[in-house]
Amino acid sequence: MPVLPDPSARHPLVLPDGTEHRNVVHLAAVIDHPNWEVGRHACANDFDPPQDWAARLAPYLYPGAPERLGIGPFCRIAHGGRVVAASANHATGGISTYPFAVFDPAAMPGFLEGFAGLPDTEIEPDCRNGHGAIVLPGARLGAGVIVGAGAVVGGSVPPYSLVAGNPARVIRRRIGAAEVGRLLAIAWWDWEDARIAAHLAEITGGDVEALARVA
């Protein structure tokens, strides 16, 4: 029977010669950041693996920021993928948007007060963010979304959609609307790993009814 990799393993992909593919990581094993929430088996790939994966993938999300980033289980982020957190924004209400206060320690407390209540960003389970895709502040990607290479995604994306472009738009729905509700209720990503491994044929197949039967 197939088995899933150890979700606590830093490098889940093992090559045929037994060596670890060090460009691929389990995010839960490499992210130690108070503003991140990462589901098991969520992965990222980078051709130039960083020391700090949190800084590489969400460079503007600093510890203690007034927002969070959620990455659901079984998500994948390809090389060049980024999440732009809302803390990256500059104030836009005045004539100049230059962040003068950032360079003045005495002014920083007042500057930071203006960033309260920033929106969280959520990438729900089993999403795939393609090469170079950018997720904008406050975006919410529904379960099973595929983001095309180079796309710039904001707002809410319906579950099991394929989006592409800048700004990203829904190219097509991967699964019919009636079946989406069934898949969200099944939530196979919440099953124990052994159960997932036993039913990979149904999970990776295209027959929702077959998956429903084993659920």
Catalytically active residues are 90
Residue ranges with strand state E in the chain: 24-26, 36-38, 43-45, 69-71, 76-77, 82-83, 121-123, 128-129, 134-135, 140-141, 146-147, 152-153, 156-157, 161-164, 169-173
Asked if 8 contacts 29 with a C-beta cutoff of 8 angstroms, the reply is yes
> Could you tell me the strand order of the sheet in which 36-38 lies?
36-38, 69-71, 121-123, 140-141, 156-157
The per-type count for the chain, helices as H runs and strands as E runs, is: 7, 15
Cα gap 140→19, rounded to integer Å? 36
DSSP 6: P
